[in-house]
Structure formats: C-alpha cells, structure tokens
Amino acid sequence: GDSWGIFTFLCAALCNLPALPALNCSEELGAGQSIQQTYDLTRYLEHQLRTLAGTYLNYLGPPFNEPDFNPPRLARAERVPSATVDLDLWRGLTDNARLAANYRAYSRLLCYLRVLDGQVGTAELRHRLAHFCASLQGLVLSIGGVMSSLGYPLPVGPAGPPAPPGAPAAPNDFLKKMDDFWLLKELQTWLWRSAKDFNRLKKKVPPAVVTLRLEARGF
C-alpha cells in the first residue's frame, strides 16, 4: 500500500545518505560569532577606559585633569599610532585593511601601556592598568581571530617597541605627562572607531547564518 511504499522510499534514502555531499556549514557562523565577541569586547574596553582615564588624569594632576584641556599634539607624540584619519577615507578601506590597521595599532598601544604600568606610583592605579592591559591583549587576539576566520593574513612583523632605540626621553615631567595624555586620548579614539567598524562588519557577517549546500544529481 501507500504506507509501505513511503517506508521503502525513506529506507532507501537513509541508506544512500553517505553518497550525498555532506551538509556544509558556511564559515560565516564562526566568523560572525568572532566578530560579535570582538565588538562586545571593544565596547567593554571603551567603558573600562573611561574610568581608567579619569583616574589616571587625576593622578597626573592639573591641567591634564581639567575637562577643557585640549592641547595641540606634539611631534614627540607621533610615535603613538594616530586614529585621526578622515572617516570617509577610513570607510573607503577594505575590511582587511581596517582590521590590519586595528591589529597593528592595538599591538603598539599595548606596548606603550605596559611601559606606563611600570612607571605609575600607586598600587591601585598599577592594578587598574594591568587589568586594562590584559583586556587589550584579549582584543588584539580577538581581532587576529576575526582576521583568520575571514581568511585574512595577520600583519607581518612585530608591532615595534614604544620608542625607537636611542629615542630621547621626555626632557621634563610636563612633556612626559603630555605623552601619557595623548596615549589615553588616541586609545579612546581608536576604541570608539573600532566599535563602529565591528558593528558594521557584524551586519555583513551575521553570527548565526548557516548555509546548507546540497547537490542533487540524477533528478
């Protein structure tokens, strides 16, 4: 009867499943999850930095902790990777180029922060800096994971030391504090822009998209 025919057809189909191509989950699943996690970490670091920056600027004292303090960027601060790039030019870059720029920048900023951590004079501030450095290291690794999941190579070569060999130290305490001020300011801008980058990227690569590919032959 009809029931027996349907049963026979299902049995035959099950027996022949190994001959069909395997269900293929696209790599978008892993990439999307990695992008979402990186976006979440970037927003967390933004929040964490707001507290850290306020504490550190109070440690530096006036005028650095005054809300309207906005000095021009000094030439010696150019060693810190700048995020002050025209937004239209930045958005015109490929995803690969933006990810690579983020990876390099945070690797270098992390080097600077670790030096900073060894120079502060209070145990509480050193603890906060160490915690932030650990989170930023996680962001560098997470960006690397996103690049790998999307098939992009990691930038080649070391991020570079905070200062070239033989570079002169700040000639006075004020200029040293100015270096620290610009480090925090650039880091805030990088995190703000990175959050926007990963928000756009996660819309292009949804975190839960599964694509099934079946090839039916002979039908």
What are the chain's domains? Answer: 29-159+172-203 (1.20.1250.10)
CA gap 197, 219 in Å, rounded: 45
Contacts of 109 (CB under 8 A, 6+ apart): 80, 81, 136, 183, 186, 187, 190
Give the three-state DSSP class for 64. coil
Structure tokens that stand for 73 in this block: 């960027």
Mean local confidence (pLDDT), 43-68 = 93
Max mean pLDDT range (64-78, 83-97, 126-140, 156-170): 126-140
- CA-wise closest residue to 26 among 142, 198, 150, 148: 150
Predicted pLDDT of residue 207: 59
Predicted pLDDT of residue 1: 55
Structure tokens that stand for 109 in this block: 């900023």
Mean local confidence (pLDDT), 75-104 = 82
Higher pLDDT, 142 or 91: 142
Q: pLDDT category, 75, cuts 50, 70, 90? A: low
Q: Is the dihedral of CA 22, 205, 36, 117 positive or negative?
A: positive
Q: How far is CA 202 from CA 33, 36, 144, in A?
A: 9, 6, 15
Q: pLDDT category, 194, cuts 50, 70, 90? A: very high
Higher pLDDT, 212 or 2: 2
Q: pLDDT category, 77, cuts 50, 70, 90? A: low
**Cβ(112)–Cβ(80) below 8 Å:** yes
Mean local confidence (pLDDT), 175-188 = 89
> Does the pLDDT value for residue 4 go beyond 60?
no
Q: Residue 90 has what DSSP assignment?
A: H
Structure tokens that stand for 212 in this block: 């099934």
Tell the burial category of 95 from Cβ atoms under 10 Å away from its Cβ (0-12, 13-18, 19+).
middle
